[in-house]
Structure 1
Amino acid sequence: MARIAVIGAGMGAMAAAARLAVAGHRVTVYERTQTYGGSVRRLERDGFSFDTGPGLLSLPAVYRDLFLKTGKEPLEDCVDLVQVDPSSRHVFADGTQVSLPNASRAGVVAALDEALGAGAGGRWGDFLVRAREAWDRTRRPLLEEPLWPNWQVLADREPYPAVPHKRLLRTRRAATLAEVAAWELRDPRLAALLEGHALAHGLDPRVAPAAASVLPYLEHAFGTWYVRGGVRELARAVHERCLARRVEFVLGAEVTRLLEKDGRAAGVEFADGMVAEADFVVAGVAPAVLNRLVAGTAIRGAGEVQAARGPASRLTVLLALRGARPGDSAHRTVVHTADRDGELESVFGPAPGPAASPTVTVLRPGDPGLVPDTGHEAVTLTATVPAEESRSTTESFARHAEDMIGVAERVVPDLRDRLLWHVVRTPADLAEATGAEGGAVPAPSLAAAEGRMLHPSNSTALPGLFTVGGWSHPGGGLPHAGMSGALVAGLIVEGPEFRGSQ
């Protein structure tokens, strides 16, 4: 039985802790804040409850597997999972609207044909077929296996089978998601639909590889799910599973240094000077935090994938409304900007700042557990913004929040008349919760793009030290966090020969 110190209590870290405890190890999680879950938090006020992190879940099989491997009670006995239907409603710049059914290619094709015109659905359906091929080519090496030592194979190969496109007497294939949208979808509304998936993950579709097509495919193929009571309930369930497996949590424990002995990780030191020895250390923290903990120690070998600072974050506006939610309201509505180029330049350009005309995602769960009574509604708005840690921009984010509320009025009638109060959660709040510079949100790992979209491997050049969570393989997002936990547990339990679940 090994002693294992886990730094951070994010979803990936807790997933690793539960699996390691079941394998017979003594696991202690040290979290600098006073709660668990990383960015998966909750705000409660006046009988209202809001997720301040992710509001929906894709690929729930990752957490089903976690609960299957760590106890007798399946995931569905611990949380109430609800498939969201329609998966999403979209309001485009020209006023066109479409509701897309959950996990139904035929239904999506029919809905797009009816809303956007004959042929639109077929082009999107054909795109999904090609995206599935990209998914099949990358699923295992990107999600289910430790990052290959020869990861350059993933970096150089574009898995998306782009359609040949004749341009200026030359035949080309789309290399970026924006080119896929322009050359294969050939409709600004379908382009907005595709590029919106990238933007929601903090990716610039102008430079994101065509391999990013797996993001809408993943949602299409495996559905969109809501955890009744909010996604924070999933974090609660994972935390309780850890406790049931005798994982110890020490909250308010800020790790300031990684201990080394005989050339390997040997424990952690805290802000008060106390130390905890360990045979293995699992770090579920942002790259800048990890770099401070291992100052002077090279934890990545020459030529390894290096984590880059994420450029994008999220601005979240929580709305407490009087009046019941109409029964025909969509759970998720995306209101697309009329100025997509301007938005992308604002978020990812050389002088980043909140977009004047943002794309806004409106979540209206209709969950009675989130409101004081049926005469009220809890609504969450999110927009992608540049990462920014300084609170000196609070005023500009407040103005941006007002812009977002104005956008949401298009789909929530009488919103301002119904508004009791609202709370703005900025990138600085995310930075405080997660430790990520500027409140940056890690994107999922993607193939191609010369490896720029890959995250560093879970194993490190320092024996005994492993990394877990969104800033390491296989990247950001709730499903990917759970997968990283499985990979780290496998590497510790089975050793470097571990090749993933079969």
Structure 2
Amino acid sequence: MGRYTDYEREILSKIVVIGAGVGGLAVAARLAAQGHSVTLIEQAPVVGGKLGVEHVDGFVFDTGPSLLTLPQVLEDLFTAIGGPPMADDLPVRQLEIACRYTFPDGVVLDLPGDPREIPGALDSALGPGRGAQWSSFMERAERIWDATLTPFLQSPIDLRTMLRLSRRLRDLTTIAPWKSLRGLGTSYLSDPRLRMLLDRYATYTGSDPRRAPAALASVPYAEQAFGSWYIDGGLGRIASVLLSRAQALGVEVRLDTRVSEILTDATGVRGVQLSDGSVVDADFVVANADAQQVFNDLLTPDQPGARSAARRLRRTTRSLSGFVLLLALDNPPGDQPHHHVLFAEDYDDEFDAVFGRKGRARPVPRPTIYVSAPSDPAITPDDQTGAWFVLVNAPPHDPAEGVDWDAPGLREHYADQVLDLMAARGLDVSDRIRHRVIISPADLERRTLTPGGSIYGTSSNGALAAFLRPSNRSPVPGLYLVGGSSHPGGGLPLVMMSAKIVADMIGAAG
């Protein structure tokens, strides 16, 4: 379809979508394309949610995801909503080097974007036989991906899903729900650096690899099998393009507007009340907000469904958060790849600190450091500068029982510590910094209304974590959840999958 149709369509239902993150934008566009009347309400003055963008003196920074995986999921979204092809507005390019890894022993691995080249690169960097070990593990990961894609990632999570999975003995044996990601990896990978490489993928869901389920092996499989991609101008452009497409489909967008309550009656939802006291009526409400905020703050305490959902959430572990540095650099190192991970000397100590084991949660003294350094003239004022995004895992903001990231001087001291650690690991840019912006977990909480700044809502810690994550159909009739804190989880592809699940359910109900 090259153009939107302009004929009048019968309105099926009135729908309010709370939150204009990628999940909210995607579900709003899908529902409007189905013929529903959609109002999208966002508390911030801009769209994007955790897919944020920061402009600093001619530099453009993605403050959320900086890597696009499973681009076919984004393509499917644009196909479903119609209009010009995705490539017209969001051309994607595959990275030749998916990521550079610097290990504690000083060994450097450039992991190729082409999966066929990965075994050879592992043998060259880590020693003969490492490629075969990783390939053997990836074969198991592929079987896990195949077993979980349709019945789990692309479908609502409910009792029928659990029963269906439990009856398929072969799939259950493949997924091994009784094993952790690290436990599964240990049975295939003898080199501690390969196990460290695998552990990192647990952080994609804000989790601890020692407790995250073996099913998360599907994450490195998907990244390596389908490639690592980038959008020139930054991934934040996804949100702005989706906004334009949604508006072209007739979605009414209200920015800088806060929902104070989801209104219900004996039959279910009936709309939302805004902070100015006005009411927007709706047949369905879709919340692209943290599930904890939805059930604890946006629904009244006497709503039985909200009480039961809030109790369930209390049984989960919040995901990790992140401490971010945005570095505007003069004359950045010329050989820096798009993504670079500088591993911690003691990964277990990092996870203990972030999740509050062996004491209270605390900033990690020597964390793993993730650097995104896109080679993209669209995000810098000239070709002699760089816009670097630096991230370390961090405990959520929790002044009462964990870390108070607003404590005087903590942000600045920790930022200096991270830069010193980068230098010690061979990536010293301290004398090249023109501007430095710090985003702490407390800042993330304020920006996204996510409790503690927990990036993924709840973690995947524990064998039942996926089933404790809020389902897309809430216990309150007519209320649906979309986004990283609900099924199937966080990250751009899964958030867009959740949008499709919700749109399909409402389409069937309405």
* TM-score, normalisation: structure 2: 0.89
Is the counterpart of residue 41 in structure 1 residue 52 in structure 2?
Answer: yes
Quick one: which of 128, 133, 137 aligns to 1:127?
Answer: 137
Percent of aligned pairs sharing the same letter:
36
> 5 Å matches for 1:13-412?
13-104=24-115, 106-153=116-163, 159=172, 161=174, 175-291=179-295, 292-295=297-300, 296-299=302-305, 306-307=312-313, 308=316, 310-323=318-331, 325-326=333-334, 328-350=335-357, 351-388=360-397, 390-393=404-407, 395-409=409-423
Secondary structure of residue in 1 paired with 2:212: coil
| 1:15-54 per-position Cα deviation (integer Å, ceiling 9, x unaligned) | 1100111111110011111111111111111111101111
Cα pair distance change 1:133/1:378, threshold 3 Å: same
Contact 1:142 1:446 in 2 (8 A): no
Query: Out of 394, 401, 424, which is 2:438 matched to?
Result: 424
2:508 to 476, 494, 498: 494
Bigger mean CA deviation after superposition, 259-268 or 293-302 = 293-302
CA distance in 1: counterparts of 2:205 and 2:476, whole angstroms: 31
**2:8 aligns to what?**
none
1:176-227 residue CA offsets vs partner (Å, 9 max, x unmatched): 1222333320111101100011124311011111111111111011111111
Q: Deviations over 1:64-111 (max 9, x none)?
A: 11111112312111112111111011100000111111141x311110
CA–CA distance in 2 between the matches of 1:447 and 1:312? 11
Structure 1 residues 354 and 241: CA distance shift in structure 2, 3 A: same
Q: How far off is 1:56 after superposition?
A: 1.0
* Letter of the 1:147 counterpart: I
| Distance of aligned partners of 1:67 and 1:190 in 2 relative to their CA distance in 1, 3 Å threshold | same
- Cα gap change, 1:413/1:446 in structure 2, threshold over 3 Å: closer, same or farther? closer
Is the CA contact 1:201–1:443 (under 8 Å) kept in the aligned structure 2? no
Structure 1 residue 319 displacement after superposition: 0.7
SS of the residue corresponding to residue 456 of structure 1 reads coil
Secondary structure, aligned partner of 2:149? helix
CA–CA separation in structure 2 for the residues paired with 1:258 and 1:174: 38
* 1:5 correspondence with 2:16: yes
Matching residue of 1:166: none
Q: Deviations over 1:145-195 (max 9, x none)?
A: 1113334448868857489xxxxxxxxx98112223333201111011000
Q: Tell me the distance in 1 between the aligned counterparts of 2:298 and 2:183.
A: 41
TM-score by length of 1: 0.91
CA RMSD of aligned residues (A): 2.5
CA distance in structure 2 between the partners assigned to 1:397 and 1:474 by the alignment: 33
Cα distance between partner residues in 2 of 1:434 and 1:452 = 23
- More displaced, 180-189 or 136-145? 180-189
Does the CA-based 8 Å contact 1:325-1:366 persist in structure 2? no
Cα pair distance change 1:443/1:258, threshold 3 Å: closer
Amino acid at match of 2:209: P
Change (3 A) 1:259 1:468: same
- SS of 2:269's partner is strand
Cα offset, 1:384, TM superposition: 1.0
SS in 1 for 2:381: coil
Q: Which moved more, 1:405-414 or 1:2-11?
A: 405-414
- Contact 1:180–1:210 (CA<8 Å) still a contact in 2? yes
How many residues are matched?
A: 485
SS across alignment from 2:485: coil
Using the alignment, how far apart are the partners of 1:475 and 1:490 within structure 2?
Answer: 18
- Once the two structures are superposed, residues 410-438 of structure 1 have per-residue CA deviations (whole angstroms, 9 ceiling, x without a partner) of 67755112111211111112111221110
Tell me: CA distance 1:143–1:413, structure 2 relative to 1, closer, same or farther (3 Å): closer
Range 487-496 or range 232-241, more displaced: 487-496
Q: Displacement of 1:253 after TM fit?
A: 1.4
Q: Distance in 2 between matches of 1:147 and 1:253?
A: 31
TM alignment of 1:399-478, pairs within 5 A: 399-409=413-423, 414-442=428-456, 449-452=463-466, 454-478=468-492
> Given residue 145 of structure 2, which amino acid in structure 1 is its aligned partner?
W
Which whole-Å CA distance do the structure 2 matches of 1:209 and 1:413 have between them? 33
Q: Is the 8 A contact 1:445 1:474 kept in 2?
A: no
Structure 2 residue runs without a partner (length 5+): 1-10, 399-403
**2:4 aligned residue:** none
Could you tell me how far apart the structure 2 residues matched to 1:162 and 1:460 are?
27
After superposition, the Cα gap between the structure-2 partners of 1:445 and 1:454, relative to the gap in structure 1 and judged at 3 Å, is: farther
Query: How far, CA to CA, are the matches of 2:284 and 2:29 in structure 1?
Result: 15
Residue aligned with 1:379, SS: strand
Cα deviation digits, residues 357-414 of structure 1 (max 9, x gap): 1001111101101111111111111111111155434633332222222233367755
Deviations 1:425-459 (A, max 9, x none): 11112111221110001179979813456522111
Q: Distance in 2 between matches of 1:340 and 1:26?
A: 49
Quote the Cα distance in structure 2 between the aligned partners of 1:162 and 1:495.
32
SS in 1 for 2:141: helix
Distance 1:310 1:151 in 2: 24
1:110-132 Cα offsets, whole Å, 9 max, x none, are 10011111111110110000001
Task: Give the whole-Å Cα distance in 2 for the aligned partners of 1:303 and 1:257.
Answer: 16
- Residues 220 and 153 (structure 1), Cα distance of their counterparts in 2 relative to 1, 3 Å cut: farther
CA contact (8 A) 2:52 2:64 kept: yes
Distance 1:288 1:379, change over 3 A: same
Change (3 A) 1:317 1:96: same
Residue identity opposite 1:175 in structure 2: K
